[in-house]
Structure 1
């Protein structure tokens, strides 16, 4: 009995240590947002084209770990915002993003505080590859990667749920099980933001409040949805995030 008790203690400690190893500290993860923010969620395509060239040049000049992550993310943004509107020039950027981030993901020396960014954008990049190649199997694999990222990092980073929710809400109607995850993910983010105002920045929450309202257009949710739309608008005075879409949806609700 005594030996079993000792074994149980050791097993429990190993499990806890494993969780700690998987989940870096919130404050340390947060420090990287200032170095990655300007390559994330770029909705202005002119700005994005300039930023793509800038980040590629930075990587060629200084191919360090941080610039590798920045390159993987800017490739993701290029795929998301340019490839689907281009015949040839921007095709293949989703795969480039996935490959770049996979190299970091599979490396034993990658900084653990960067893993929430790497795993989240890697999953989203694979979903974009699936959309570009019309391979549903890749979408299923992407959602498995999202689930793993959420399990490990959602407590310290908004990215796993934000990116999965963003993918899920744009899926066709017949993928209803996956589409429902958007409701869950955006609500979880709002709950975490209410508990910790430092959880996500203004840009992400502007998108999130608009996304929640879009997912809850029924009359029973109207008061709350309008309140969230007002927050989405207030957080984005310069139309860099969700304001434009929030104003359109608000106008629809009022009419």
Structure 2
């Protein structure tokens, strides 16, 4: 029944039209990004638990679309860091994230500049639901949603490609048709960042440089990979992004 509900929900929201990148205000996208940064790409599990209480309290006090977005995104981080592929008190948060973000995704009243983040995290949440329920059909649907988000919002926000690449890099090798996006998406973000230094923030680029190097460990790319790992480390002096993983991978590649 749960899987049927998710599938029906996807079919329903697909009928709603959304603003494309040409209709989105880039300044507003960046302003919204700043207001969402503290609930995105979290790696400290203790901090996530504290943040969860704060964000839920804020939403109860003020159920605005921004606070609802923050709640849905944080539920995604809870699912990824505290319950992914393991039984815990936080089991089911992927579904909670998907449901909250679907409400925003389906509403024609949602601010267009929120959509790059809502659409991307919603697709990622669906991939987590797929892993939790072992329903591979949902994974395919998640990548369809990612493709739509990249086409609509990839030119104005790193989020669609970053989230798709992050999911793709963790897939087993036999999902090669989807795993390829781990190489393509992080390369795309780096290229866009070279053209526009404000395209993605320091944390995202720290993770991106590390992820690119992880995907390019062969001798052919070794020199460039080590350069990117150095960038990942330099951008993250406090260890809130990709620094730790980059240091470990760099040490491995330097041996």
The two structures have a TM-score, normalised by structure 2, of: 0.91
Unaligned runs of 5+ in 2: 1-17
Partner of 2:14: none
- 1:142 matches 2:142: yes
Distance in 1 of aligned mates of 2:21 and 2:179: 31
In structure 2, the partner of 1:178 is 178
Q: What is the CA-CA distance between 1:92 and the residue it aligns to?
A: 0.4
SS class of match (2:84): helix
| Structure-2 separation of matches of 1:166 and 1:84 | 14
Q: State the partner residue of 2:93.
A: 93
CA RMSD of aligned residues (A): 1.3
Counterparts in 2 of 1:19 and 1:73: CA distance versus 1, 3 Å: closer
Judge which range, 212-221 or 82-91, deviates more: 82-91
Would the alpha carbon gap of residues 89 and 156 (structure 1) be closer, same or farther in structure 2, given more than 3 Å must change?
A: same
Q: Does 1:164 align with 2:151?
A: no
Q: How does 1:200-215 map to 2 (within 5 A)?
A: 200-215=200-215
What SS does the corresponding residue of 1:197 show, helix, strand or coil?
Answer: coil
Structure 2 Cα separation of the partners of residues 37 and 19 of structure 1: 22
Q: Tell me, yes or no, if the aligned pair for 1:97 and 1:125 is still in contact at 8 Å.
A: yes
8 Å CA contact 2:186, 2:208 repeated in 1? yes
Q: Which runs of 4+ in 1 moved over 4 A?
A: 18-23
Unaligned runs of 5+ in 1: 1-17
Secondary structure, counterpart of 1:247 in structure 2: helix
TM-aligned CA deviation for residue 50 of structure 1:
0.3
Aligned counterparts, 1:92-241, within 5 A:
92-241=92-241
Considering only CA atoms, is the larger Rg found in Structure 1 or Structure 2? Answer: 1
Distance 1:21 1:154, change over 3 A: closer
Q: Is the 8 A contact 2:59 2:71 kept in 1?
A: yes
TM-score (norm 1): 0.91
Structure 2 vs 1, CA of residues 245 and 214 (structure 1 numbering), >3 Å: closer, same or farther? same
The CA deviation string for residues 22-47 of structure 1, in whole angstroms up to 9 with x for no partner, is: 64122221111111000001100000
Asked whether the equivalents of residues 52 and 74 of structure 1 are also in contact (C-alpha less than 8 Å), the reply is yes
**Aligned-partner Cα distance in 1 for 2:39–2:86:** 20
| Alignment length (residue pairs) | 238
